Amino acid sequence: MSDKRLIVGLGNPGSEYEWTRHNMGFLTVTRLAQDLGLRLRKSTSVKGIWAEGRLENSEVVLLLPHSFMNNSGMVVKQAVTAKKIDPENVLIVCDDFSLAFGQIRLREQGSDGGHNGLTSIIEQLGTKKFSRLRLGIGPIPPHKNTVDFVLEDFRLDEKRKLPDFLTAAADCCRAWTSELLSTVMSRYNQKLLT
C-alpha cells in the first residue's frame, strides 16, 4: 500500500442535484480541487471524476463518484484498488442531517450513522476504519420527509452561508492530510456557522 491519501466527496451526479443538501461532499471536494488548482477529470479506471496532486506533504487523490449515493462504495473500492490506498488513508466527505447547518464533525472511524453512502462504502471496503467528515445540513423540519429534505436545493439563508461553510470544510480536508487527527478534530468539530 502507498502513503497516498484519498478524499472522496459524496453526492449524486447530474445538474439537477448539484445544489442540493445531499451534495455537500461533491461541493466540498470540488472547492478543494479549485483551491489546489487541480482539474477533476473523467477517470478511465473508476466510475467517477478525479484529480491527483500534492497537498501539504502528501500525495492526494480527490474523487467524486459518479454512481448514485447508494452505490458509492463500489467506486471508492475501485479507487482504493487502482491507487493502492489503505482504507485508513481515506477521508469521506458527506452531508449529515442530524447536525445543524454549518456544523462540522470529523471522525477517525465509526458507523454509517444512517447515511446510505457510508453504508455502501463500509460494505465494499469491509471495514469502518476510514475517516469521515460529516457536514451539517439539518435540522429536518417536522413536516418534511427525509429523502425530500436532503434532495432539496439549499434555502436562501443557507446559500448565503454556503461559501464560508465550504471554505471551512475544504480547510479541514487540507488539515487532515498533514496534522494529527486529534488536533484537526479539536479545531474543526467546534465550528458552527451562524
Cell of residue 128, nine digits: 469502518
Would you say residue 74 lies in a domain?
Answer: yes
- pLDDT single digits (tens) 155-167: 999 999 999 999 9
Domain assignment of residue 63, yes or no: yes
Residue 194 domain-assigned? no
Q: How far is CA 71 from the centre of its chain?
A: 15
For the question of residue 22 being annotated catalytic, the response is: yes
Torsion-angle region of 104 (φ positive above 0: left; ψ -120 to 50: alpha; else: beta): beta
Report the predicted TM-score, pTM, of the whole model to 2 decimal places. Answer: 0.95
The answer to whether residue 193 sits within a structural domain is no
Residue 132 in any domain: the answer is: yes
Please name the residues in contact with 103: beta carbons below 8 A apart, sequence gap of 6 or more.
135, 136, 191, 192, 193
**Residue 99's CATH number:** 3.40.50.1470
In a domain, 46, yes or no: yes
Which of 113-122, 148-157, 161-170 is predicted with the least confidence, judged by mean pLDDT? 113-122
Domain containing 22 equals 5-188
Tens digit of each residue's pLDDT (9 = 90 or more) over 3-27 = 899 999 999 999 999 999 999 999 9
- Catalytic residue, chosen from 22, 66, 115, 143, is 22
* Residue 152 belongs to some domain of the structure: yes
Domain count, the chain: 1
* 142 domain-assigned: yes
